[in-house]
Amino acid sequence: MGSPSVKTNLPTNGLGESMIREIYVFKEGQTLFKDVIVPNEDLDTDAVMMLVSSSAKKLQEWKIDSMEIERFRYVYMNSHNTQFIVTMDRQASLQKVTEAMMNMVSKFMTAFENTLETDEWKSTDFSPFKVGFRSLVGRIPVKVCLAGHGGTGKTTLLELATLPSQGPPQDYVPTFFGDKALLKADFDPYIFSMFDLGGQDRFVQEWGKIIRAGSMVIIVTDSTKENMEWTKRVAYPVLKAELPYARAVAIANKQDIKGALSPNEVSRRLGVPAYGMQANRRDFRDRWLKLLKGVAFETLDYRLVSDIEVE
Ligand SMILES: Nc1nc2c(ncn2[C@@H]2O[C@H](COP(=O)(O)OP(=O)(O)OP(=O)(O)O)[C@@H](O)[C@H]2O)c(=O)[nH]1
Ligand SMILES: [Mg+2]
């Protein structure tokens, strides 16, 4: 520790990240277009859309508003008596999505304005809009936070994912404050902005500023009892205060070390689904990327940060 080669890449604030989950476009009660990237299993989507679109109808042309329901935020707009509704993670940056909404509706109008002004819209196929919608979604990174104590393997995981040809680092170089890197892999249409937090105790007080707008939290542990205690005592209060609506999983890292707690045991102690890992081995990259994808698309077991319960 305190070596001259510490990493000192200060991340920028988290205003640029957001996860857009789906879009619906309605006119006169009909669905003109929809694209669901990550289905919302928690709520009755038809009922929610009915509610949101009735509010959208009352909006002035080109005004944007939003409403929050549980862990989701519905951003909506009204143009040419057509209602546009985008679902995003509640936590994520509203500013970025507002911008994206403007672009989206402009794009839609460029293609379909004339159609919407006559009865033609009733027989028009709007599905080609999917390409434009998805490319806008892909321009806003989804924020993923790697949280855990110093030396548990966060930077190793970051580099395992983002620097595949180099191979994960074998030396421990503590991260100062935090670091970040973009990750593009088999996550289409999403790209991830990976925030690697400095885990030494003196940096944990900075986490609050760094993790804002995070959609996903990866809780990194070295699968020891002491580390479980630290995670619950020090990391959980910050995560619960700052990112209650984010999705969380735990990494039971360092499974190769003798005496490592099993992923099941880590999961039981932390109150979060835990997945075994050996981050310092490049052949674990595939598993790590699949895990990230599974959390993003909600095909893998996760827990909302606010729902984490510990004894
Ligand atoms: N044996 C073993 N070592 C690992 C494993 N994963 C990471 N390491 C090593 O553990 C050390 C962890 O280093 P980092 O990844 O930099 O730790 P960190 O969590 O980023 O630490 P801070 O930046 O201080 O928060 C490095 O020496 C890694 O090579 C693993 O699965 N098994
Ligand atoms: Mg680090």
Distance 140 CA to ligand 1 centre (A): 29
Instruction: Please tell me the distance from the alpha carbon of residue 240 to that of residue 252, in angstroms, as a whole number.
Output: 20
- My answer on whether 149 and 249 are in the same domain is yes
Same domain, 164 and 303: yes
Of 95, 110, 137, which residue is a domain's last? 137
Q: Is the pLDDT of residue 2 over 50?
A: no
Same domain, 101 and 162: no
Q: Is the pLDDT of residue 7 over 80?
A: no
Range of the domain at 81: 20-137
Atom 28 in ligand 1: residue holding the nearest Cα: 170
Nearest CA to ligand 1 atom 29: 170
Question: 165 and 301, same structural domain?
Answer: yes
Helix, strand, coil shares of the chain, percent, nearest 5, are 35, 25, 40
Beta-sheet strands, E only, within the chain: 20-27, 30-36, 64-69, 72-79, 82-89, 142-147, 178-183, 192-197, 216-221, 247-252, 274-276, 303-304
Inside any domain, residue 11: no
- Whether 14 is in a domain gets the answer no
Domain boundary among 113, 137, 161: 137
Q: Are residues 237 and 303 in the same domain?
A: yes
The alpha carbon of 305 and the centre of ligand 1 are apart by a number of angstroms equal to 24
Q: Which of 118, 98, 178 is nearest to 144 (CA)?
A: 178
pLDDT at 159 over 80: yes
Across the strands, what pairs with 248?
217, 303
Strand 64-69, strand 72-79: pairing: antiparallel
**CA dist., res. 17 & res. 291, Å (int):** 20
> Domain holding 186: CATH number?
3.40.50.300
Q: Which string of DSSP letters, residue by residue, matches 123-156? A: G---TTHHHHHHHHHTTSPEEEEEE--TTSSHHH
Overall average pLDDT of the 37-62 stretch: 94
Q: Could you tell me the sign of the dihedral formed by the alpha carbons of 217, 46, 44, 51, in that order?
A: positive
CATH code, 121: 3.30.450.60
Residues 109 and 175 in one domain: no
Distances (CA, A) of 52 to 23, 56, 57, 72: 12, 6, 9, 12
How large is the greatest C-alpha to C-alpha distance in the chain, in angstroms?
71
pLDDT of residue 9: 52
Q: Which ligand is nearest to the CA of 174?
A: 1
Domain check: are 53 and 130 in the same one?
A: yes
DSSP 223: S
Look at the chain and report how many structural domains it folds into: 2
Tens-place pLDDT, residues 261-292: 999 999 999 999 999 999 999 999 999 999 99
pLDDT digits (tens, 9 = 90+) for 171-193: 999 999 999 999 999 999 999 99
Exposed e or buried b for every residue in 43-77, given b needs 16+ CB within 10 A?
eebeebbeebbebbbeeeeeebebeeeebbbbbbb
Q: How far is the CA of 170 from the centre of ligand 1 (A)?
A: 7
Distance CA 108, CA 32 (A): 11
Q: Could you tell which of 149, 156, 231 is best to mutate to test the pocket of ligand 1, judged by most ligand atoms within 8 Å of the CB?
A: 156
Cα 45 to ligand 2 centroid, rounded to whole Å: 40
Partners of 65 in beta bridges: 76
| 3 found inside a domain | no
Residue 195 lies in a domain: yes
CA of 6 to the centre of ligand 2 (A): 9
High-pLDDT (> 70) share of the chain, %: 95
Q: Which residues line ligand 1 (CB under 6 A)?
A: 148, 150-156, 169-175, 198-200, 253-254, 256-257, 278-280
